[in-house]
Amino acid sequence: MFKSQIKIVSKYIKSKYPTRYTLKLAQAANELLMTKDNVKKLIENKLLASLGIKSIATFIIENPPKKVS
């Protein structure tokens, strides 16, 4: 189940950045809806392995946004 979801999110990110395999810090922060400092902390704490598209997609699927009411 997760594999198919990761593929879908990866395809979406690849369509936004067609010539890139890894994202820049600002692009990753934009996709994760975070600041650059928060993304750096995720990498330092080993919660995010790299800035690769598959890694970003996996993080999004494993940590979905919380609903705010």
Domain ranges within the chain, ordered by starting residue = 2-62
Q: Compute the distance between CA of residue 27 and CA of residue 43 in angstroms, rounded to an integer.
A: 15
pLDDT at 69: 67
Looking at residue 8, its pLDDT comes to: 95
Residue 47 has what pLDDT? Answer: 92
pLDDT at position 68: 73
How do the pLDDT tens digits run along the chain, 69 residues long? 789 999 999 999 999 999 999 999 999 999 998 999 999 999 999 999 999 999 999 999 998 878 776
Q: CA–CA separation, 25 vs 44, rounded Å?
A: 13
Helix axes 2-16, 53-62, angle to 10 degrees: 130
